[in-house]
Structure 1
Amino acid sequence: MPAAAFRKEKRPSIRIRPLFVLWHRWFGILAALWLALMGLTGSAVVYYDELDVWLNQDLKKVEARAEPASVELWFAAARDQFPDRFIRFVDLPGAPDDSVRLSMPSLEDDSEIEVFVDPYTAELLGSRSYDAAGLGPRNLMNFLYGLHLDLHLGDWMLWFLGLVAFFWIFDHAVSVVLSFPTARKWAASFRVRLRKGRHKFTFDLHRAMGLWLWPVTLMFAVSGLYFNWYEHVVAAVDRVSRVTERAIFALPANDEADFAPQIDFDEAFTIAGRLEGAPEVDLASYNPWKAAYELRAHDVRDIDPYGRRMIVVEANSGKVLSDRHITEGTAGDVFLAWQYPLHSGKAFGGIGRAILFVSGILVAILCITGIILWARKLGARRWRKGARRLG
């Protein structure tokens, strides 16, 4: 019997690279529109506060004076103007010339408005609806923020954008494999050839930009998944490292909402200020279904400009139910705590925000160059088919 008969039959090997090329091409085509929109609107949202102040000086800025009016007078001005609403959220002034921002949902429907008050005179400066669509100065930044959040299309779009983020994470691994065809010439993948023709320039720009942006876009993908699929991500992280549930979420809901608790916001601020370290409250919210205040205070452990020491006060007894900084706890707690500071760029101050602003624009360019490369390949393929028919 010939020796060849004893040789094992060769099985056809599966080539991974062509599969990765196919995946990357079609993911890019299908996801390009959404990623470009998220990138461009995200760049605008990075400077949400500054742009909103510039567009709405009359709402956001006041004349600084010696002493502010009492918190109760702020709220009285808002309640007098909007008696069919309650105060859910308070954003205290961060600078002497800042106004007070209140969020006031309706007692009758799902609408909610922002109300701005002069902290020194307790004068009502104006209001605007969260749901108002438009490109005018009053609503432009809220409109862009909503566009970035879910394209103003609600929960189903949140789910869809979460799916895009999930696949984008996988695509990051694929793109690295495709960007380094040979180990010896790895450095060439980071460069752009300027005098090799338009196609090579576009290809190099797409590849090099993707590699230089890779850490930032991976962060966008992971944090985007967190924001859009919050409960699923928290559950997945909890399986790896136990996650501490946010105290206000852990409280049981009452049968009826309490819109007139014995403890008001001002007293809740005072209670929080008596705690260890005399924390300065930055933001506060009231949950009528749980009859509890959640106050966010500044702390040396903060990882962005917002107060991240979360203090929960029972609204009828004044008892402090929880006092915890979001970075305390397990590795899972720390991982989740960093998602917003990283996604917004605020974890690294002005430099971090500038990097994210530019990165959002570059993500859109990355999508455009990918579409151009696909269109050229498609055109070349059709030309070859036509040439064969003619030949």
Structure 2
Amino acid sequence: MRQTFVVLHRYVGLVMALFLVVAGFTGIFIAFYDELDACIHPEVMRVVPPANQAMLSPVALTALVLRQYPDAMITRIDLNQVADQSRRFRLQPRPGLPESSVLNNEVFVNPYTGQILGERKWGDITQGTINLLPFIYRLHFSLALGSVGDYLFGIVALLWTLDCFVGAYLTFPAPQRTSTIRIKTKEQHWLSRWWKAWKIRWHGGSAKRNFDLHRAGGLWVWAMLFVFAWSSVAFNLREVYTPVMDTLFARQSFDEKIPTLAQPLTSPQLDVSAALGTGRQLIQQASHDDAFTIHHEAKIYYDASKGTYTYVVNSSRDLSEKTADTAVIFNANSGEQLAIYLPTGEAAGDTITQWLLALHTAQVWGLPMQIFVCAMGFGVVGLTVTGVLIWLKKRRSRKLAHQLKGSRR
């Protein structure tokens, strides 16, 4: 069985190698996505707050943008206003219009004046450096191949998750054939032999050093590798992640039970301003009923296919100030509450998922976690490269042995 696992680990690793190198290398930059994006084009991402002038409301800014893009619609409005940052809006073609009617789907606006500072078609690297970070993001999650890449990365993530356990098993020392040692002594001996797997023989030659870097390197960061692998399944292969997690843990269904309308509701009775008022009332009541504290507004978005608004805030149920997933869904005509979602503390499956995704994207613990995730990107690349080098060495050894065997005949 051990030899079978060795073969599985070897060839699954080779299948994953390219994907993991790309994911690891691009993850180095994704850990500082917002900071790097702003550094490349500060004239678009940053503003200088004028003295004694308040920012325009998100609703007013939305109206200003739509006047300049009459063929577009905005279904999501970010509500958390930061004094020195531009506001970004995602544009979509109005119903019935072709995709080409909106050339650029992301617009950056001065929140004090409403001036358009820049725009881009998110992820289109042909537009130059303004899309460098979005393009790296696309590479990270899908090799920039769209839905095909999403599924490919999802399958690789699933293989990676399983291989985490195979790799850990292969670090365990092989069982000794002895029956004379007492159980306690046997355990101590097993642990002492396993401890060798955590060490690196720096002076044992390049082959041993490379092998130890692969084995010990994987052991020391095994927990985070598993987090990356399984959370990648959550990002790219929900068809597998959701059933597995639902089998093991409870989960809030959120909006899944809200039916899709026969025809999209393109003109709801509640406009955005009225929807904001309704959302605020509903979330305040929910905070009282479910005992959580609201920190700040995050966003509101409209789903025409279901005729619903979703109002999202950052609350004490979120993992950090960077994450905002506390949400209420309500009918866009009547304002009736349809669902409430609390990211942590309500259902174990949701809490675990929130932690997995937050750790993967460095959304908790501030700068130290960003640096750690960046370092893990280097680590994933290093583990992949050392694994390939081990395979190449063994392949050369097997080929040489085969040649020697043939020459003796």
Q: Could you tell me the TM-score, scaled by structure 2's length?
A: 0.85
Shift of 1:127: 1.4
The answer as to whether partners of 2:38 and 2:45 remain within 8 angstroms in 1 is yes
Is it true that 1:109 corresponds to 2:98 in the alignment?
yes
Q: 1:388: which partner in 2?
A: 405
Q: 1:332: which partner in 2?
A: 349
Amino acid in the other structure paired with 2:233 = L
Shift of 1:349: 2.5
Partner-residue secondary structure (3-state), 1:130: coil
Aligned residues: 375
Q: 2:316: which partner in 1?
A: 300
| Equivalent residues in 2 for 1:210-249, closer than 5 Å | 210-247=218-255, 249=256
Moved more, 306-315 or 261-270: 261-270
Q: Flag structure 1 segments of 5+ consecutive residues without an equivalent.
A: 1-15
Q: Distance in 2 between matches of 1:279 and 1:259?
A: 31
Q: Distance in 1 between matches of 2:105 and 2:121?
A: 4
Is it true that 1:52 corresponds to 2:37 in the alignment?
yes
Shift of 1:44: 1.4
Shift of 1:199: 0.7
The answer as to whether partners of 2:362 and 2:373 remain within 8 angstroms in 1 is yes
Shift of 1:106: 1.2
Q: 1:289: which partner in 2?
A: 305
Shift of 1:313: 3.4
Render the CA deviation track for 1:2-30: whole Å, top value 9, x for unaligned.
xxxxxxxxxxxxxx111111111111111
The answer as to whether partners of 2:105 and 2:121 remain within 8 angstroms in 1 is yes
Amino acid in the other structure paired with 1:212 = W
Shift of 1:135: 7.7
| Equivalent residues in 2 for 1:55-74, closer than 5 Å | 55-65=40-50, 66-74=53-61
Partner-residue secondary structure (3-state), 2:105: strand
Shift of 1:224: 0.9
Shift of 1:117: 1.5
Moved more, 167-176 or 275-284: 275-284
Render the CA deviation track for 1:267-293: whole Å, top value 9, x for unaligned.
333333332456631122211222222
Amino acid in the other structure paired with 1:109 = P
Partner-residue secondary structure (3-state), 1:256: coil
Partner-residue secondary structure (3-state), 2:364: helix
Change in Cα spacing, 1:386 to 1:323, as seen in structure 2 (3 Å) is closer
Moved more, 332-341 or 74-83: 332-341
Q: 2:183: which partner in 1?
A: none
Is it true that 1:137 corresponds to 2:164 in the alignment?
no
Is it true that 1:207 corresponds to 2:215 in the alignment?
yes
Q: Distance in 1 between matches of 2:98 and 2:346?
A: 38
1:36 aligned to which of 18, 21, 24: 21
Shift of 1:152: 1.9
Shift of 1:118: 1.4
The answer as to whether partners of 2:80 and 2:299 remain within 8 angstroms in 1 is no
Moved more, 181-190 or 146-155: 181-190
Q: Distance in 1 between matches of 2:59 and 2:246?
A: 41
1:251 aligned to which of 239, 251, 258: 258
Shift of 1:324: 3.0
Q: Flag structure 2 segments of 5+ consecutive residues without an equivalent.
A: 175-189, 286-292
Amino acid in the other structure paired with 1:282 = A
Q: 2:79: which partner in 1?
A: 92
Shift of 1:32: 0.8
Q: Distance in 1 between matches of 2:339 and 2:406?
A: 76
Give the fraction of aligned pairs with identical amino acids, expressed as a percent: 29
Render the CA deviation track for 1:72-98: whole Å, top value 9, x for unaligned.
431122112211110022223452111
Partner-residue secondary structure (3-state), 2:306: coil
Amino acid in the other structure paired with 1:77 = L
Render the CA deviation track for 1:227-280: whole Å, top value 9, x for unaligned.
111133212222333321123x43222233333333333333333333245663
1:366 aligned to which of 375, 380, 383: 383
CA RMSD of aligned residues (A): 2.1
Change in Cα spacing, 1:329 to 1:300, as seen in structure 2 (3 Å) is closer
Q: 2:368: which partner in 1?
A: 351
| Equivalent residues in 2 for 1:164-183, closer than 5 Å | 164-181=156-173, 183=190
